[in-house]
Amino acid sequence: MAKKEDKKDYMKLRATAEELFVGQGMSGREIADLLNVSEVTVSNWRKGREGEKTWDDKRKELQMSPVRIKEKLLDEAKKIADGEPSTIDADKLSKIVAAIDRLDKKISIRIIADVLKECDNWLVETDPSQALLLSKYHKQFLQYRISLEV
């Protein structure tokens, strides 16, 4: 039973890392530090499973601007109206739209991490002893926020 739970935790951790890389734009090093895994592990995950796209490819797809997506949808609608078959996979399209909606509705982990990092840098100059204490709590808060999104 312990192996089943370990695998479930591993899969959650991998999914979180993928969301941070693909959806939030974090680097492999940042993800490794945040999730307490090695950079090698993140690098291996990033390559994707056999038959899957790499995280880099998924990130590129997600980074298409909403304007470009609308243009593609209009082109597709025109094809359908002209009697041509659809070339867009509806399931993939709905996932992309859902991801865009999610990103629009919440503060990303990336933004939170950037703000806390800037705060830590300022605090180092202002009160170094407090900076050490607070940076520890900032990391814990980021891990907490990540756990809420899994």
Residue-wise pLDDT for 29-87, tens only, equals 999 999 999 999 999 999 988 888 999 988 887 766 666 676 777 777 788 888 888 77
Number of domains present in the structure of the chain: 3
Q: What is the pLDDT of residue 109?
A: 78
Q: What is the pLDDT of residue 48?
A: 85
Q: Are residues 100 and 110 in the same domain?
A: no
Q: Are residues 114 and 148 in the same domain?
A: yes
Q: Are residues 140 and 116 in the same domain?
A: yes
User: Smallest Cα–Cα separation from 62: which of 31, 3, 21, 107?
Assistant: 21
pTM for the whole structure: 0.48
Percent of the chain surpassing pLDDT 90:
29
Q: Are residues 97 and 140 in the same domain?
A: no
In this prediction, residue 107 has a pLDDT band, given cuts at 50, 70 and 90, of confident
User: Smallest Cα–Cα separation from 15: which of 37, 51, 45, 44?
Assistant: 45
Q: Are residues 9 and 42 in the same domain?
A: yes
Higher local confidence (pLDDT), 100 or 87: 87
3-class SS letters over 72-89: HHHHHHHHHHCCCCCCCC
Q: Would you tell me the crossing angle of helices 39-46 and 55-62 to the nearest 10 degrees?
A: 70
Q: Are residues 113 and 148 in the same domain?
A: yes
Q: What is the pLDDT of residue 54?
A: 92
Q: Are residues 112 and 88 in the same domain?
A: no
Q: Are residues 46 and 10 in the same domain?
A: yes
Q: Compute φ and ψ for 108, nearest 5 degrees.
A: -75, 155
Model confidence at 98: pLDDT above 80: no
User: Smallest Cα–Cα separation from 28: which of 12, 17, 14?
Assistant: 17
Q: Are residues 3 and 53 in the same domain?
A: yes
Listed residues 22, 41, 57: the one ending a domain:
57
User: By residue range, what is the domain housing residue 89?
Assistant: 64-105
Model confidence at 106: pLDDT above 80: no
Q: Are residues 5 and 43 in the same domain?
A: yes
Q: Are residues 24 and 71 in the same domain?
A: no
Q: Are residues 90 and 110 in the same domain?
A: no
